[in-house]
Chains A and B, each alone.
Chain A
Amino acid sequence: MKRKVPELLAPAGSLDKLKVAVDYGANAVYLGGLKFGLRSAAENFTKQELREGVDYAHAKGALVYVVLNGFLHDKDLDELGEFIQFLDQIKIDAVIVSDLGTIATISEQTNLEIHLSTQASCLNIDSARLWKKMGVTRVVVGREVSIAEAALIKKEAQIEVEMFVHGSMCMAYSGNCVISNFTQGRDSNRGGCAHSCRFEYSLDFPKMGLAAKHNYFMSSKDLSGLRVLEEFIAAGIDSIKVEGRMKSHLYAATMAKVYSQALDYYEEHGHFLSEKLLEWEDELKKVTHRTYAQANLIDKANADTIFNEREHDTELDYVMVGRVIGQIEDKETVIEVRNAFNQYDEVEILPFKGSVLKQGLNHIKLLNGQEIERSKPSTLVKIPYVCGAEVNNIVRMRKV
């Protein structure tokens, strides 16, 4: 018997990343068009890419949600109509919205399903009830909401609930930070966040005669809910979401693979009592991340959830060195190189399902057969044949 588990919703910062997330097991992806979202610096999707992305995801049984979650101004709304009609036409599965004017525009002009963005900071039952009356079918609750509180919201407001399970965290209530707006002239709530919360600050407490130099007091540790997946399931949370449209292909692959494996395991066994949990945790540590914490998922986030460090790589971090783009006659595997690696290095190939494939590189060749000692980014190279590798598998290596 398969047990009910939440939808795994992964970020897709580009069409390539959408394919990565879907191929590695995400049930749904969220992405942005060229406007109206909160990630102006992400690659985002042109209309044709959106169409292709929807076709690709749907063909593999995954859903596509499009973010329109900026706090839109009048001139943005003026341009929105044509875009949402296009989204309706290509049959995306929902839009993620944070602004009432946007909701009204979408409701008037399309039949699109509307999810409320976490940006709207829906924190309690009454708030969810109000948004439901406005036409919202799902709320992505604020990241301050615990799993237990989210369960109450779902039950009492009779609405689908989505929660973040993994990724970077805003320290502020989402939508309630305008540091970038007033210090850098970039609207953080329309895609221009300058991440001022990650800056180093020196603080003075004048009334106390204290000074605290060199702090990252507004920088939050990253969220990881892997250890409490069972609580999400018991609470009946409809969708668990991974943050990170700006993050790497390796991140997209790792998140989709780990969390989908974990949910699959639960579907089959009804528990997480497995050594695999440690394996999955190790995998999550291999992508660049800040220290993990459970933030507000169980208890209120306390002082321990402040990262208070400069952003840095750790020795555990892996880097994506390329992706598989073909196999030649079961003799060699062709890789598009993204980061350089050397002859005799060991690379790891992340298959869509199953365990990591390790491959020592006793040779690296250019396509024309010339042997080289070190690969270069943005080249195609042949490495010894990796049995089980498929096109678009991510290739990674421990950072040196």
Chain B
Amino acid sequence: MKFISYATNKHDLSLLKECSYSEVILSFEDLNRLIKTSYDDFIELCQMAKTFQMRVILEWDVLATENDFAPKKSLFDSIPAELYDAIRVQDPGVLEYVLGTTDKPIQFIAETGNHNLKGLKVWEEYIGHRLERLVLSIELNKDKIKEYTCALKTPTELLVAGRVLLFYSPRKLLSPLALSEAKAEYGGSFLEAVGSSEESPHKGFPLVENQHGTFMFHIKDLFLLDRYEQLEQTGLDWLRIDLRDRQDLSFLKTLHEFLAKPSFHSDDLKEAYGKEVIRGYFQTNKSDVLFKKLKNYRVQRKDEAYIGEVVEIAKPEYMALELKSHLHLKKDSQLKIINPNGKEFFCKVHFLKDLAFDDLPKTHKGQLVLMNYMGGVWPKSQVYLDS
């Protein structure tokens, strides 16, 4: 496994060189969501990386609608091709553009909405020989990652330490809340805040607003380096460390000192990271198990033998049913009724009447009928033929 990280200034880049990184992710403010580096500084960093004999990965990860996309294409086209070695993209539109206009290798960020092997294989097939790396989602657990790294032809990468982006909006949501004078004083183009809600158990979400919109991060960083052996077992090729929110990359030196030891205590490494951390979904992803609790399945009809729904109870005279299926109801039919609490009742139809209380010889779908009252049944109870 190799490490990759971002450099946003010369000091970062020198440190990566010192740590023997063979690749670095570079970008500038117009193409990147969170990097503040200007275009000119980016060019300088590319040149410096070249002198360090490091591969430069140009990351273009901003999302843009058509009118904003055109100027970004021009900026991208203006970057001397010899200054970078591969392009890292996320938006399918950007992917399509760089596929058509360059011959550089592509690292595809499949972090958002790519949670099945089939889809990843289609990306692999579509990008073809130009695909140099797939950046996998941190919502995949370690078993899935292992399965994918075995099944994919392309080398893979995962974020193993850094902030977890929770929310990306193109709208500027912080500046309306900050005083305009103060905003000007602090540069205005890169606002930072911390948000907390009484309605969330988590307090202190880091927020950033810049020219691309507003970003919210988890209160804790993702940190998987204390599970280094498990990471090795997944078959990942690249581990990404994203410390762009820090003053410097000094943790990387510490990390490599730890890794150079014959053995180390994982808690010490975690402590050296210096922030509160989570492991996210690396062990397991059960983010769909709570869905069952989101609605009352007892009031959801089952298709077999379905008759309809109770819409009124007039104790002790009658109950009104709305007939919702083609099955006929007649006198002496045996019914099973399930109330919204899930309790089952069995009864026989003693009479069937219409809304004017006239006897009904037969029923049809869509009809409202009155039948004998049954205790324990109430509106929204589901009615089935009990054969």
- Chain A residues positioned under 8 Å from B320 (CB to CB): 367, 380
Considering the complex, give the chain B residue whose CB is closest to the CB of A204. B194
Residues of B within 8 Å of A181, CB to CB, are 139, 287
**Is A208 within 8 A of B314, CB to CB?**
no
Docked pose: A131 CA to B196 CA in angstroms:
38
Query: Complex formed: what's the CA distance from A76 to B207 in Å?
Result: 33
Within 8 A of B (CB), among A147-175: 148-149, 152-153, 171-173, 175
Instruction: State whether A176 and B312 are in contact (beta carbons under 8 Å apart), knowing that A46-B302, A48-B303, A101-B117 are contacts in the complex.
Output: no
B282 at the binding interface (Cβ < 8 Å) = no
The count of residues in chain B whose C-beta lies closer than 8 Å to any C-beta of chain A is 94
Once the chains bind, are A171 and B294 in contact (CB under 8 Å)?
A: no
**Which chain B residues border A127 with CB–CB below 8 Å?**
91-93, 96
**Residues of chain B at the chain A interface (Cβ within 8 Å):** 63-67, 69, 91-97, 112-120, 122-123, 126, 139, 144, 164-179, 182-183, 185-186, 191-202, 207, 216, 218, 278, 280, 285-288, 290-291, 294-295, 300-303, 306, 311-314, 317, 320, 322, 324-325, 355-357, 368, 370, 378-380
A48–B306 CB distance below 8 A? yes
Residue of B nearest to A367 (CB): B355
With a cutoff of 8 Å between Cβ atoms, the chain B residues found around residue A227 in the complex are: none
Tell me whether A203 and B186 are in contact in the complex, defined as CB-CB below 8 angstroms, given that A145-B66, A172-B169 are known contacts. Answer: no
Range, interface on chain A: 35 or more
Q: Is the CB of B287 within 8 A of A185?
A: yes
* Residue A265 interfacial (CB < 8 Å): no
Chain A, residues 37-76, CB within 8 Å of chain B (1/0): the string is 0001111101111000000000000000000000111101
What separation, in Å, do the CA atoms of A302 and B170 have in the docked complex?
A: 10
B217 to chain A: closest residue by CB: A182
Cα-based distance from A129 to B194 in the complex (angstroms): 39
Q: How far is the CA of A49 from the CA of B303 in the complex (A)?
A: 8
For residue A300, which residues in chain B have a CB less than 8 angstroms away from its CB? 170
**Contact of B66 with A149 in the complex, beta carbons under 8 Å:** yes
In the complex, the answer to whether A125 meets B93 with C-beta atoms within 8 Å is: yes
Contact B119 A100 (CB under 8 A): yes
Residues on the A chain within 8 Å of B171, using CB: 171, 220, 301-302, 305-306
Q: How far is the CA of A195 from the CA of B72 in the complex (A)?
A: 32
B-chain residues with CB within 8 Å of residue A171 when the two chains form the complex: 167, 169, 171, 173
Complex alpha-carbon distance, A386 and B250, angstroms: 78
Contact A126-B97, Cβ < 8 Å, known A175-B112, A176-B63: yes
- Considering the chains assembled together, what is the distance between the CA atoms of A148 and B67 in angstroms? 9
Whether B164 lies near A101 (C-beta < 8 A) is: no
What would be 28 A-B contacts, judged by CB atoms less than 8 Å apart? A43-B295, A47-B303, A48-B301, A49-B301, A76-B116, A101-B116, A123-B91, A130-B93, A130-B95, A176-B167, A178-B165, A178-B167, A181-B287, A183-B201, A184-B290, A192-B288, A192-B291, A199-B197, A201-B196, A202-B197, A203-B177, A204-B195, A205-B193, A208-B178, A208-B183, A217-B174, A380-B320, A380-B355
**A200–B126 alpha-carbon span in the complex (Å):** 43
Question: Per a CB cutoff under 8 Å, which of B119, B178, B278 touches A99?
Answer: B119
User: Within the assembled complex, what's the spacing in Å between the Cα atoms of A340 and B244?
Assistant: 58
Task: Tell whether A378 pairs with B122 under 8 Å between CB atoms, given A40-B295, A171-B171, A217-B173.
Answer: no
Query: Does B280 contact A212, Cβ atoms closer than 8 Å?
Result: no
Chain A residues within 8 Å of B117, by CB: 74, 101
A188 and chain B: residue at smallest CB distance: B287
- Check B379 against A72 for contact (C-beta < 8 Å): no
Chain B minimum-CB-distance residue to A125: B66
Contact segment of A114-122, A233-241, A266-274, A355-363: A114-122
Nearest-Cβ distance from residue A2 to partner chain B, whole angstroms: 31
Whether B173 lies near A99 (C-beta < 8 A) is no
Does A206 reach chain B (CB closer than 8 Å)?
Answer: yes
| Contact among B94, B170, B287, B356 with A328 in the assembled complex (CB-CB below 8 Å) | B356
Contact in complex: A73, B301 (CB < 8 Å): no
Which residue of the partner chain, among B177, B192, B200, B302, contacts A217 with CB atoms under 8 Å?
B177
User: Are B291 and A196 closer than 8 Å at their CB atoms?
Assistant: no
In the complex, the chain A residue whose C-beta lies closest to that of B73 is: A126
Interface: A245 (CB within 8 A)? no
Q: Enumerate chain B residues within 8 angstroms of A47, measured Cβ to Cβ.
A: 303
Q: Judge whether A71 and B197 touch: CB under 8 Å.
A: no
Decide if B186 touches A201 in the complex (CB within 8 Å). Answer: no
> Across the interface, which residues of A come within 8 angstroms of B65, CB to CB?
123-124, 142, 144-146, 149, 296
Contact B379 A378, beta carbon cutoff 8 Å: yes
CB atoms of B167 and A179 under 8 A apart:
yes
**CB-CB under 8 A for A101 and B118, given A144-B65, A183-B200, A205-B193:** yes
Q: Are B300 and A46 within 8 A (Cβ)?
A: yes
**Which residues does chain A contribute within 8 Å of B177, judged by CB atoms?**
203, 212, 215, 217
Q: Complex Cα distance A119/B322, Å?
A: 37
Decide if B69 touches A126 in the complex (CB within 8 Å).
yes
From B193, B291, B370, give the contact of A40 (CB < 8 A).
B291
